[in-house]
């Protein structure tokens, strides 16, 4: 099994209305198994833990998601922006973070520029629309 994450309007698991679902689908989000309201969270656990110091295994409120979007944006602006031409090129975040937990498997630290942007944008949409991020594992 693994971890999937999906958004909801409330801290309880309630479906999104069509307007918000359409907004998330139109945001050019590129995440593993992304369907407009959910994504494969297990793929990004290490990235989020390392950059944002948060866990995708717990309910995350809109304010926390806003902070996470900001931390991802800071990471992108500091280390990634303008340095990778190909948005699908693999980036090993360990090259930019001094203090990381090296107990994870090597591939868990790898992400593309497009996925970093997508995580940031997805969390920003959640904050702006007062959405919660739920875990399912």
What would the pLDDT profile of 17-27 be if each residue is shown by its tens digit? 888 888 887 88
pLDDT computed for residue 111 by the predictor? 96
- For tokens 């497009």, what's the residue? 114
Tokens of 59: 């309910």
pLDDT per residue as tens digits for the range 94-125: 999 988 888 888 889 999 999 999 999 999 99
pTM for the whole structure: 0.92
Question: How many angstroms separate the CA atoms of 1 and 12, rounded?
Answer: 22
Per-residue pLDDT band for 1 (boundaries 50, 70, 90) equals low
Q: Which domain holds residue 120?
A: 4-136
Tokens of 85: 């031409």
pLDDT computed for residue 90 by the predictor? 93
Question: How many angstroms separate the CA atoms of 93 and 77, rounded?
Answer: 14
- For tokens 């190909």, what's the residue? 86
Domain count, the chain: 1
Closest of 80, 68, 57 to residue 136, by C-alpha: 57
């Amino acid at each position: 099994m693994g971890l999937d994450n999906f958004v909801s309007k409330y801290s309880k698991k309630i479906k999104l209305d069509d307007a918000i679902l359409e907004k998330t689908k139109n945001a050019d989000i590129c995440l593993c198994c992304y369907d407009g309201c959910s994504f494969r969270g297990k793929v990004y656990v290490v990235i989020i833990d390392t950059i944002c110091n948060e866990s995708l295994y717990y309910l995350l409120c809109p304010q926390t998601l806003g902070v996470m979007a900001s931390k991802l944006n800071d990471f992108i602006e500091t280390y990634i922006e303008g340095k990778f031409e190909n948005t699908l090129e693999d980036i090993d975040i360990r090259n930019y973070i001094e203090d990381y937990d090296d107990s994870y498997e090597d591939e868990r630290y790898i992400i593309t520029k497009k996925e970093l942007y997508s995580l940031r944008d997805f969390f920003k949409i959640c904050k702006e629309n007062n959405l919660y991020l739920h875990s399912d594992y």
